[in-house]
Amino acid sequence: MPQCTCPHTKADSLPTDPSQMVSVEINGKRNGHTNGTTNGANGHSTPRDQQRRNPYAPRASDFLSNISNFSIIESTLREGEQFANAFFDTKTKIAIAKALDAFGVEYIELTSPAASEQSRADCEAICKLGLKAKILTHIRCHMDDARIAVETGVDGVDVVIGTSSFLREFSHGKDMTYITKTAIEVINFVKSKGIEVRFSSEDSFRSDLVDLLSIYQTVDKIGVNRVGIADTVGCANPRQVYDLVRTLRGVVGCDIEIHLHNDTGMAIANAYTALEAGATHIDTSVLGIGERVGITPLGGLVACLYAANPEYVKAKYNLPMLREIENLVAEAVEVNIPFMNPITGYCAFTHKAGIHAKAILNNPSTYEILKPEDFGLTRYVSIGHRLTGWNAVKSRVEQLGLKLTDDEIKDATAKIKELADVRTQSMDDVDSLLRVYHSGIQSGELEVGQKEALDRLLKAHRESQLGDNESASAPVPVVAAA
Amino acid sequence: MPQCTCPHTKADSLPTDPSQMVSVEINGKRNGHTNGTTNGANGHSTPRDQQRRNPYAPRASDFLSNISNFSIIESTLREGEQFANAFFDTKTKIAIAKALDAFGVEYIELTSPAASEQSRADCEAICKLGLKAKILTHIRCHMDDARIAVETGVDGVDVVIGTSSFLREFSHGKDMTYITKTAIEVINFVKSKGIEVRFSSEDSFRSDLVDLLSIYQTVDKIGVNRVGIADTVGCANPRQVYDLVRTLRGVVGCDIEIHLHNDTGMAIANAYTALEAGATHIDTSVLGIGERVGITPLGGLVACLYAANPEYVKAKYNLPMLREIENLVAEAVEVNIPFMNPITGYCAFTHKAGIHAKAILNNPSTYEILKPEDFGLTRYVSIGHRLTGWNAVKSRVEQLGLKLTDDEIKDATAKIKELADVRTQSMDDVDSLLRVYHSGIQSGELEVGQKEALDRLLKAHRESQLGDNESASAPVPVVAAA
């Protein structure tokens, strides 16, 4: 077995005798703490509150930061519809909308009702659900679209404009920004219906900065609720995002939304950094599905914001629902949850069979950052999963001190996988099964390949467990829930 | 069909008559370009070089940036061994090492030879391969480990130390930094063998900053090639990474390596930002496999660095090999390539059937950022993939203007999926098949379910294509390559 990832010099292997230590002068500078408060055995004072501070929390100096003050605009039913495999029928859209609402996202965005009669009907149907979340949609800058949209009952409308075509045609280098009468008409019309108006553009990181800021300054003055920028090609990097959002933050008074594609895998980090810079709304989709590799995934975003401020995020969202929502959408679009998905991926909390998580973290002031229990998950599922390999089971067999041949282990593994197809097995489940299998082999009641004999032994074991302990921890196969 | 993602006000729908425009004063400020160089029809001068500038390129003001000057330390055979499903035998390790070398990574890191006899033997075997890449391994700060390691033939050794236990025990608030005689002995011993020495620690973002900088300053003075920091819990954010690396950059003269876990999905972005701050070496693994959700994935990192400086990355690495390497490792650890994997994921370059990628990018100064051809890939594979649904095929049928019933479409889809099991079909392949199918139906030569008739028609079509055009573009099924 390969060694633990980053072996340390253990504290007890350091010499206790200073004569074993060598001093190295570093330009006459002092090292370590210099406040001379204590001279305890370790020569340092380490205030308890310093040990408990979350190193991933937003920095006090980031007075613009909205890491603990943001909203999610969930766009599975708009951006997600652009995903190669997405063909949501009305029933599925409603199921997804309800699940997202139960999770707690502040906004749910839908495909434009002007796109097709079906889109319009679905938009209306979802608006009628009476969800807590606000329902949004988007339209071209056109009164026909606006009229259709407001009639569906949405709570907000996004008017999307073209940055490059906006000013260049008409500004003539004067002191004024020209804006189409239509745009004003659309904005005012939507506002007159008492619903939110957003203005957004595309490909912001490749747009002329001056054009972009002019447009947003203009619409801010006219009175929109929010402006939106987008990394359409999915290649922006975090500091670039920070700079643009921060700059925009100083130009408009309204909210700032950001839509980030994930072609280079940086969408979560870009979203985080955008919030640090003062953005207020982040577009997401479940598993990030959308055009090409999609956008900021809901789960990944929630994970990093939870790391920064777990209490805020736990209060805002129903975290244990995350897995259920991802399974719902994954099934609808026929993809597998990526094995390395934050939080809900196959191996998010797994380690090689038997290695306790804490053994990895040697820092004595450790506290867990990502607590699987907060997401309704447990650790150590790697060998109770249908993807389990017999080698992983063999490691566990060895750790339990049981003696089984490779054939016996493969046989037991097949049973584990079969049970795991119904419900992922916990480490306890697997340990029980291995012990029962081992006893069966030892006593002669069981041989390799004897499925019925094994089932009998497992059943007898469960019944004796239920007799001993009325708790629900016995490995009874149930139809897989979330 | 849902509408294209972000519809714009099209240029030709803007009013040509200024009386249709309304001026909005913005605090008397000027908007748009003010250099008054031209007064062409659009009122702006837009220098051609400005249009062609890569907006994702490293910034000139980032004089620390190593975005175009870095090395990859590929750790599939060290961090990757910690992945839940990883049980590499020697043959597989050698295959992976050779593939990584052919790809062009500068370093390949292996599990400590002191971990087990097998690890030692494998380390030796890989060192004997004569690869271009430098072979590295890591050890505890112990002479026994060091002796084993240097005998294997590695080009470099990483000595891992515990940050928290290092200084606190012994510094006593003096002007000196105490360091164990053993550490000096180990470093000097390794250096005496003419190989690289790195010093790294774990959980850097939760370590006392002063301790950390003291240690690194000390070992830098003693003379190591490189120091390494790590985000062990995978929760660090980009600006936090930037700050720590930049600070360290000002303290040590040696190289700086960073090891980033991916629990909150930010490892790629953190790696990118670390390079901007002056890091020189990034640890990766293929598909990011490693402990829990692993570390910075090789493919994702290469994607974002390619976006920043494509010529540099293309010259450095054999990009078309990426897919092959990912398939090799995915198979070895029994996972699927995530559907949204940058570059090589199922949908990385796909759009809804038939929508040309450029339709998405409305910015007139567009140029492709991620070119699939540079990675040996093509676009539009969504309907030529074995995961294709008949709905996707139906969309394409409609776009081609062909008339087929749903049953006929499902029948054609079955044939596409069958061909795609052998080799993913291009859009041309699919279009050909649909046209042949449609002709067959129209002419009465074909009915639903007539597999042999369809095969005959397809064969005849291919032969006529080869007759017309000797190129290899005819959809001849071949055994799937990379």
Please report the DSSP string for B376-416 in residue order: T--S--TTSSTT--HHHHHHHHHHTT----HHHHHHHHHHH
Q: In Å, how far is B30's CA from the nearest CA of chain A?
A: 4
Smallest Cβ–Cβ distance between A206 and the set B46, B289, B363 belongs to: B363
Round to whole Å and give the CA distance between A430 and A400. 11
Q: In Å, how far is A37's CA from the nearest CA of chain B?
A: 10
Cβ neighbors of A309 (< 8 A, separation 6 or more) are A54, A57, A58, A67, A68
Q: In Å, how far is A461's CA from the nearest CA of chain B?
A: 29
Task: Confirm if A462 and A448 have CB atoms less than 8 A apart.
Answer: no
pLDDT of the residue at A24: 59
Chain B residues near residue A308 by CB distance under 8 angstroms: 237
pLDDT of the residue at A91: 96
ipTM of the complex in this document: 0.75
Burial class (CB in 10 A: 0-12, 13-18, 19+), B423: middle
Inter-chain touch A304–B235, beta carbons under 8 Å: yes
Which listed residue (B44, B281, B356, B385) is catalytic?
Answer: B356
- Nearest CA to B76 out of B232, B297, B226, B263 is that of B297
Inter-chain touch A272–B238, beta carbons under 8 Å: yes
Best of A266, A276, A326 to mutate (most B CBs within 10 Å, chain B): A266
Chain B residues near residue A53 by CB distance under 8 angstroms: none
Give me B352's structure tokens: 């809804």
pLDDT of the residue at B235: 92
pLDDT of the residue at A388: 64
Best of A363, A378, A381, A388 to mutate (most B CBs within 10 Å, chain B): A363
SS3 at position B144: helix
Q: What are phi and psi of A282, to 5 degrees?
A: -120, 130
Inter-chain touch B287–A340, beta carbons under 8 Å: yes
Inter-chain touch B161–A8, beta carbons under 8 Å: yes
pLDDT of the residue at B179: 62
pLDDT of the residue at A385: 59
Cβ neighbors of A96 (< 8 A, separation 6 or more) are A76, A77, A88, A286, A325, A328, A329, A332
Name the E strands within A14-144: 21-25, 71-74, 107-110, 134-140
Inter-chain touch A338–B342, beta carbons under 8 Å: no
Smallest Cβ–Cβ distance between A237 and the set B8, B56, B165 belongs to: B56
Inter-chain touch B84–A392, beta carbons under 8 Å: yes
Chain A residues near residue B366 by CB distance under 8 angstroms: 203, 206
Chain B residues near residue A361 by CB distance under 8 angstroms: 203, 232-233
Task: Confirm if A446 and A415 have CB atoms less than 8 A apart.
Answer: no
pLDDT of the residue at B13: 45
Best of B1, B31, B62 to mutate (most A CBs within 10 Å, chain A): B31
Whether the predicted model's global pTM rises above the 0.90 cut = no
Task: Confirm if B339 and B345 have CB atoms less than 8 A apart.
Answer: yes
Q: Which residue in the block uniquely carries the two structure tokens 């619409």?
A: A219
Smallest Cβ–Cβ distance between A273 and the set B239, B287, B352 belongs to: B239
- For residue B325, CA distances in Å to B32, B97, B340, B344, B371 come to 48, 10, 17, 11, 19
CB pairs under 8 A between A and B: 491
Task: Confirm if A257 and A226 have CB atoms less than 8 A apart.
Answer: yes
- Nearest CA to B320 out of B481, B474, B146 is that of B481
Inter-chain touch B169–A11, beta carbons under 8 Å: yes
How confident is the prediction along chain B (482 residues), in pLDDT tens digits per residue?
A: 333 333 333 434 445 555 656 665 554 433 333 333 333 333 333 344 444 567 788 877 777 899 999 999 999 999 998 887 788 899 999 999 999 999 999 999 999 998 888 889 999 999 999 999 999 998 888 899 999 999 999 999 998 875 544 434 433 333 345 566 777 889 999 999 999 999 988 778 888 788 788 888 888 988 999 999 999 889 999 999 999 999 999 999 999 999 999 999 999 999 999 999 999 999 999 999 998 899 999 999 999 999 999 999 999 999 999 999 999 999 898 888 898 899 988 778 765 543 333 333 333 334 458 888 899 886 554 565 555 667 778 877 877 788 999 999 999 988 988 887 676 677 678 888 999 999 999 999 999 999 999 999 999 988 887 766 544 443 433 333 33
Round to whole Å and give the CA distance between A148 and A137. 11
Burial A361-374 (b: 16+ CB within 10 A, else e): bbbebbeebbebee
pLDDT of the residue at B385: 59
Give me A201's structure tokens: 């553009």
Chain A residues near residue B82 by CB distance under 8 angstroms: 2, 5, 351-352
Smallest Cβ–Cβ distance between B300 and the set A42, A112, A264 belongs to: A264
pLDDT of the residue at B456: 93
Inter-chain touch B140–A218, beta carbons under 8 Å: no
Round to whole Å and give the CA distance between A387 and A377. 17
Inter-chain touch B205–A273, beta carbons under 8 Å: no
Q: Could you give the residue numbers annotated as active site of A?
A: 356
Chain B residues near residue A210 by CB distance under 8 angstroms: 31-33
Task: Confirm if B13 and A207 have CB atoms less than 8 A apart.
Answer: no
- For residue A133, CA distances in Å to A102, A155, A198, B214, B324 come to 9, 9, 17, 51, 44
pLDDT of the residue at A323: 92
Inter-chain touch B165–A14, beta carbons under 8 Å: yes
Q: What is the mean pLDDT of each run of 10 residues along chain A (482 residues)?
A: 34 52 50 34 39 71 88 96 84 97 98 88 97 93 91 93 47 47 86 93 82 86 93 93 96 96 97 97 97 94 96 97 94 86 82 38 47 78 59 77 91 86 72 91 93 92 71 37 32
